[in-house]
Chains A and B, each alone.
Chain A
Amino acid sequence: MNVSSILSSSFAVRAGQRGHWMLLAGLALLLMLVPFGIVPFGEGWVRILALALLYVLLALGLNIVVGFAGLLDLGYVAFYAVGAYMTAWLSSPHLSEHLPAVMALWPNGLHVPIWLIVPLAAAVAALAGIVLGAPTLKLRGDYLAIVTLGFGEIIRVFMNNLEQPLNLTNGPRGISQIDPVRLGPLDFSQPLTLGSFSIPSVVLYYELFLLMGVGAILIGHRLEFSRIGRAWMAIREDEIAARAMGLNTRNLKLLAFAMGASFGGVAGALFGAFQGFVSPESFSLMESVMIVAMVVLGGIGHLPGVVLGALLLAALPEVLRYVAADLRVHTGGRLDAAILRQLLIALAMIGIMLWRPRGLWPSPERARAAPEEMTP
């Protein structure tokens, strides 16, 4: 292949990408309209979708750590918790009520705007990612998983107990009265009325989370096809060879932890404002496991697969809740809905792993098989 043919093929790729982006833009527009079709069936369904979009954000963040850099992180929910508590502290009366110093300065409570909290939460979570990453740099696989699992639990236990001597987290009771998202004149807790048309609050949140999700996909995609993304994948494939290629694996791993964690922080900050309430029970080990499951079941390292995995696993339990409730009625209460739900999710996971071990939508096998040796 000579230079001109390389150039022309790269132009073809660019043109193909443009078509790709058009398709994605159309898809995004369609997704924007989805909640309006669902609202008549109940706002609860839109709420489920909005939460699913937050899980997309989380799964895309974890995909940077697990999918790109190959570092198995079982404590990812800790960063989600960090983001959520950032919102709770910075936009609720909690700190003013319990800390005299804050009370003296801000008697009406801190009400930091969300557009400031989100980047702040990303930065603090990234820092937490580095704090977690630094001592675990030499660990791989199972060992890394155990340490990160411990880290996740540490954060949760802290949130559960930081009410003595200073009441920072209000312990297991959690922090309530968190401000809803407000952007300029737009208050997300109130329906937006445009003439005779009214957009419910939950749809506004849905649209915001959709926007963040699209942004996360874009970031993930751009990182994947960059010098940094290739370096992460090289570390995932063979760390010793990666070092021999001159990669500073320490810095690159810390970067992966920080980037991945910042997604978790953003998702957490939005979650806090969306719920208006945070408590440690939202950040259990089970959540971390579910996020890892989203990445793995969807297709590890492959963005569309990860998004699909997140949407399915976040929505499936909620859908099953309705199905299971019906079953409970039909069996006269002998089948407990919650247990049945767990059972069905577990069965679905086992099924996927049996029939599609590389995930529902794995990265394409660009190389099916190299042709036979052409040179003599």
Chain B
Amino acid sequence: MTPLLEVRGAAKRFGGVQALGGVDLRIDRGEVHGLIGPNGAGKTTFFNVLTGLYPPDAGEFHLDGQPYRPGSVHEVTAAGIARTFQNIRLFAEMTALENVMVGRHVRTRCGVLAALTRNVAFRTEEAQIRERAQALLEHVGIGHLAPFKARTLSYGDQRRLEIARALATEPKLLALDEPAAGMNATEKRVLRQLIETIRADGCTVLLIEHDVKLVMGLCDRVTVLDYGLRIAHGTPQEVQRDPAVITAYLGAPPQEMTT
């Protein structure tokens, strides 16, 4: 079976800094894949290259067997990769429902003329957009917050709204950039359940996360980056025992192994 996402030799340089020095990544269908590494390892850069925010200097990118060029963000989203942001980026002055409705944009087509005439196609599509957006809000557990402006939602709810908005684009791959950052234990537990539900629905998930417990408990496979290079990959158990990973995190050869 072809992998859902295959990246070979992704490279990115900012001036004199080689942020990514040829990273390989392979994500299989239906898995939750973790991307971890110490601070400054290049995780977010890799994420931004993958989703088209930064054009890569080199690398081959295949999504679902098709090559794609991560040159423009909206084309990557249309191809089937949706993302959330490390520092939440919602449309603050729009309601929760409208935020998710924007996510439907890429899968709908009515333009200005349809909007001005309010023809049947427009009304049907608009009703579908609204219904789908509401269903997605229910799905992530914040259906009751639909009419409220995004900026008034609590932190955990804003994270969930961002996930609902990303899911609205019908992604093949959902890429989450540190979704648990700043969450308390309860919120993390709810988030974990949510990601498991998303996987059960058949969506593949790429997860950047600092919370090792969450990554080890949730991910099927893990890729570890350090200094812009992939230093290890495999199941959480394999990666945890990898000497290169331990060196990267602790900075010295281990005297004894702890997890």
A255 and B169 contact, CB distance less than 8 A:
no
Within 8 A of B (CB), among A215-264: 219, 222-223, 226-231, 233-234, 237-238, 240-249, 255, 259
Q: A245-B105, A245-B169, A373-B157 are in contact. Are A233 and B115 (CB under 8 A)?
A: no
A317 to B259, CA, bound (A): 75
B106 and A223 contact, CB distance less than 8 A:
no
Q: A227-B129, A238-B89, A259-B112 are in contact. Are A366 and B148 (CB under 8 A)?
A: yes
Contact among A230, A240, A247, A366 with B147 in the assembled complex (CB-CB below 8 Å):
A366
Q: How far is the CB of A129 from chain B (nearest CB, A)?
A: 14
Residue of A nearest to B145 (CB): A370
A237 and B144 contact, CB distance less than 8 A:
no
Q: A226-B115, A227-B108, A227-B125 are in contact. Are A367 and B95 (CB under 8 A)?
A: yes
Residue of A nearest to B158 (CB): A370
Q: How far is the CB of A77 from chain B (nearest CB, A)?
A: 24
- Residues of B contacting A219 in the complex (Cβ-Cβ under 8 angstroms): 116
Stretch in B73-81, B196-204, B220-228, B248-256 with 4+ CB within 8 Å of A: B73-81
B208 near A: Cβ within 8 Å? no
Residue of A nearest to B162 (CB): A241
**Size category, B interface:** 35 or more
B210 near A: Cβ within 8 Å? no
Per DSSP, chain B at the interface is helix
A231 to B165, CA, bound (A): 13
A255 to B108, CA, bound (A): 17
B106 and A245 contact, CB distance less than 8 A:
yes
A27 near B: Cβ within 8 Å? no
Q: How far is the CB of A303 from chain B (nearest CB, A)?
A: 15
One digit per residue, 1 when the CB lies within 8 angstroms of any chain A CB and 0 when it does not, for chain B 165-181 equals 11001000000000000
B74 and A228 contact, CB distance less than 8 A:
no
A219 to B115, CA, bound (A): 9
B233 near A: Cβ within 8 Å? no
Contact among A222, A234, A241, A243 with B115 in the assembled complex (CB-CB below 8 Å):
A222
- Residues of A contacting B147 in the complex (Cβ-Cβ under 8 angstroms): 366-367
B92 near A: Cβ within 8 Å? yes
Within 8 A of A (CB), among B80-139: 82-83, 85, 89-95, 98, 101-106, 108, 110-112, 114-116, 118, 122, 125-127, 129-131, 134, 138
A339 near B: Cβ within 8 Å? no
- Residues of A contacting B169 in the complex (Cβ-Cβ under 8 angstroms): 245-246
Residue of A nearest to B109 (CB): A227
A376 and B77 contact, CB distance less than 8 A:
no
Q: For A219, A234, A241, which residue has the most chain B Cβ atoms within 10 angstroms?
A: A241
A193 near B: Cβ within 8 Å? no
Residue of A nearest to B127 (CB): A10
Residue of B nearest to A235 (CB): B91
- Residues of A contacting B138 in the complex (Cβ-Cβ under 8 angstroms): 1
B186 near A: Cβ within 8 Å? yes
A312 to B111, CA, bound (A): 33
A317 to B214, CA, bound (A): 64
- Residues of B contacting A242 in the complex (Cβ-Cβ under 8 angstroms): 91, 102
A375 near B: Cβ within 8 Å? yes
Q: A227-B115, A370-B157 are in contact. Are A246 and B105 (CB under 8 A)?
A: yes
A228 and B154 contact, CB distance less than 8 A:
no
- Residues of B contacting A229 in the complex (Cβ-Cβ under 8 angstroms): 115
Q: How far is the CB of B245 from chain A (nearest CB, A)?
A: 30
Q: A237-B94, A366-B149 are in contact. Are A374 and B144 (CB under 8 A)?
A: yes
A105 near B: Cβ within 8 Å? no
A183 near B: Cβ within 8 Å? no
Residue of A nearest to B190 (CB): A375
A9 to B127, CA, bound (A): 12
B153 near A: Cβ within 8 Å? yes
A105 to B105, CA, bound (A): 50
Q: How far is the CB of B177 from chain A (nearest CB, A)?
A: 10
Q: A244-B82, A376-B186 are in contact. Are A226 and B93 (CB under 8 A)?
A: no
Q: How far is the CB of B130 from chain A (nearest CB, A)?
A: 7
B141 near A: Cβ within 8 Å? yes
Contact among A243, A245, A370 with B153 in the assembled complex (CB-CB below 8 Å):
A370
B51 near A: Cβ within 8 Å? yes
A241 to B122, CA, bound (A): 25
B39 near A: Cβ within 8 Å? no
Q: How far is the CB of A221 from chain B (nearest CB, A)?
A: 10
A6 to B145, CA, bound (A): 14
Contact among A3, A234, A245, A255 with B131 in the assembled complex (CB-CB below 8 Å):
A3
Within 8 A of B (CB), among A180-239: 219, 222-223, 226-231, 233-234, 237-238
- Residues of B contacting A230 in the complex (Cβ-Cβ under 8 angstroms): 94, 98, 101-102, 105
- Residues of B contacting A365 in the complex (Cβ-Cβ under 8 angstroms): 149
A240 and B89 contact, CB distance less than 8 A:
yes
A10 to B141, CA, bound (A): 21
A354 near B: Cβ within 8 Å? no
B53 near A: Cβ within 8 Å? yes
List, sorted by A's number, 30 A–B pairs whose CB atoms are closer than 8 Å: A1-B134, A6-B130, A10-B130, A226-B110, A226-B126, A227-B115, A227-B129, A233-B94, A237-B92, A238-B91, A240-B85, A240-B89, A241-B91, A243-B77, A244-B89, A245-B82, A245-B105, A246-B73, A246-B169, A259-B112, A366-B95, A366-B147, A366-B149, A367-B95, A368-B152, A369-B152, A370-B148, A370-B152, A370-B153, A370-B154
Further pairs besides A365-B149, A367-B148: 14, Cβ < 8 Å: A1-B146, A222-B116, A226-B115, A226-B122, A227-B129, A230-B101, A231-B102, A231-B105, A233-B91, A240-B89, A244-B51, A246-B78, A248-B74, A370-B157
Mark A residues whose CB is within 8 Å of B: 1, 3, 6, 10, 219, 222-223, 226-231, 233-234, 237-238, 240-249, 255, 259, 365-371, 373-376
